[in-house]
Amino acid sequence: MMNILLLGSGGREHALAWKLSQSKLCSKLFISPGNPGTSTCGENISIGVNDFDALAAFCREKKIDILVVGPEDPLVNGIYDFMKADATLKDLIVVGPSAKAAQLEGSKAFAKAFMDRNGIPTAAYREFTKENLAEGRTYIQQHSLPVVIKADGLAAGKGVVIATTHEEALRTFEEMIVDAKFGEASSKVVIEQFLKGVELSVFAITNGKQFALLPEAKDYKRIGEGDTGLNTGGMGAVSPVPFAKGDFMSKVIEKVVKPTIDGLFKEGLVYNGFVFFGLINVEGEPFVIEYNCRMGDPETEVVMPRLKSDLIDLFLAMENHTLDDTEVEVDSRAACTVVMVSGGYPGDFEKGKVITGLDQAFSDHTMVFHAGIKAASDQLLTNGGRVAAVTSYGDSIKNAVAASVKAIERIEYDKKYFRTDIGYEFK
Ligand code: AMP
Ligand code: GLY
């Protein structure tokens, strides 16, 4: 039996906590800091995800066997290395890569160079800093349009601009490098070719040598119906992705997943945990848009519900090097999640709105994962841009989405907003 500590506080972590709590191997589950949803799956504690000393002390005190890291921040900051350097925690299984390997997400330039070295298909690119600013300007002026400008480091999902004119591209480039729009994160900038196609998210659990694939998903990032308006953290997701099968999926495995895992091994990058391949299907060929070193949000809210295998079993297979012999069992039903957000998001929005009807939204095929929600006496209040993710199963994507949209009618708070067209291409 295993004691688990899960870090994070969003919808992704509620979905992970929900899944972990069902494991036959789960003894005690702690979530730090968690949200009111995760408190129904285990015990919330309040240690910050970057307070490594306090987290290590907690792991010792509660005899934690597995530390599952939800968000990227502590991974890029080196939580894996910190725990592994502590002799008193030598048996702790950390689900998350070393700081060096987390650079696959933490530095776009690092990820691009890794892909180049390992022959992994990705958009053509160049990287620039203050040192070669003039060269960067010339490169942009001569680049075809649209052109993609990316801050190298973590920028909370705001560091990518797809510029449709050279003026916009130059302005963005200078804001990032000269005006340090994202501080250190934009002191280096990647300029890359625009790829046209449909995106999807593919997930693996790996130990840096072997891997097992989880169900794939597609997320919907734009705020408006029909994929219009500003980018958000994610307005919904569906799984499966109908085109992620047969020949295309074989190419994903042979051209992307295997060369990535082999590259980690060859380059001595210590990697345990989830790899998130952000892919784009360009006329039947997969290209990598980005790597993330953690699960996606809101993708996790459809991936975990479709995963039938015991998640702790998969973590143990990762640790014990038996992933190659592990069959991942997947629910044959479709799943969708529709994210309810605060009115105004991703711009300014108000928090603290009273939420009613959450309990009434549950049914035998629908559940609600909490994201930006906090408990105050006996009420639930909105506490973020993304408030909740309403996940449903269905015999088709269309029916799953219809079930979530119907369930959302029961949930009320001032200025509630959501998209009704998640999965629209697949109906
Ligand atoms: P990223 O933060 O790298 O995931 O980029 C955010 C979003 O920008 C992606 O999900 C894509 O929709 C888009 N994007 C990034 N790079 C490219 C590219 N080279 N071509 C087309 N779209 C891109
Ligand atoms: N859904 C995209 C992400 O988690 O980065």
pTM exceeds 0.85, yes or no: yes
Burial of 68 (0-12, 13-18, 19+ CB in 10 A): buried
pLDDT score for 374: 97
pLDDT score for 156: 79
How far does CA 269 lie from the centroid of its chain?
A: 20
The CATH class that applies to domain 334-426 reads alpha beta
Domain with residues 2-96, CATH architecture = 3-Layer(aba) Sandwich (3.40)
Distance, in Å, from the CA atom of 394 to the CA atom of 402, rounded to the nearest integer, reads 9
Burial annotation 328-365 (CB, 10 A radius, 16+ → b, else e): bebeebbbbbbbbbbeebbeebeeebebeebeebeeeb
Ligand 1: atom nearest CA of 108 is 3
Tens digits of residue pLDDT in 150-161: 999 998 778 899
- Percentage of the residues of the chain whose pLDDT score is greater than 90: 96
Distance, in Å, from the CA atom of 327 to the CA atom of 338, rounded to the nearest integer, reads 29
pLDDT score for 53: 98
pLDDT averaged over the chain? 96
Contact assessment for residue 124 and residue 194, using Cβ atoms and an 8 Å cutoff: no
Give, using CA atoms, the residue closest to atom 14 of ligand 1.
289
Ligand 2: atom nearest CA of 221 is 1
Query: In DSSP terms, which residues pair with 393 in a beta bridge?
Result: 335
Counting ligand 1 atoms within 8 A of each CB, the residue from 115, 164, 283, 289 with the most, and so the one to mutate, is 289
| Candidate from 178-187, 231-240, 308-317, 355-364 with smallest mean pLDDT | 178-187
The CATH class that applies to domain 130-187 reads alpha beta
pLDDT score for 279: 98
* Ligand 2 in reach of 105 Cβ (< 6 A): no
Q: What separation in Å is there between the alpha carbon of 297 and the centre of ligand 2?
A: 5
Distance, in Å, from the CA atom of 424 to the CA atom of 367, rounded to the nearest integer, reads 21
- Domain residue extents for the chain: 2-96, 130-187, 198-325, 334-426
Q: What separation in Å is there between the alpha carbon of 359 and the centre of ligand 1?
A: 36
**What average pLDDT score do residues 271-289 get?**
98
Looking at domain 198-325, what is its CATH homologous superfamily? Answer: ATP-grasp fold, B domain (3.30.470.20)
Q: What separation in Å is there between the alpha carbon of 70 and the centre of ligand 2?
A: 12
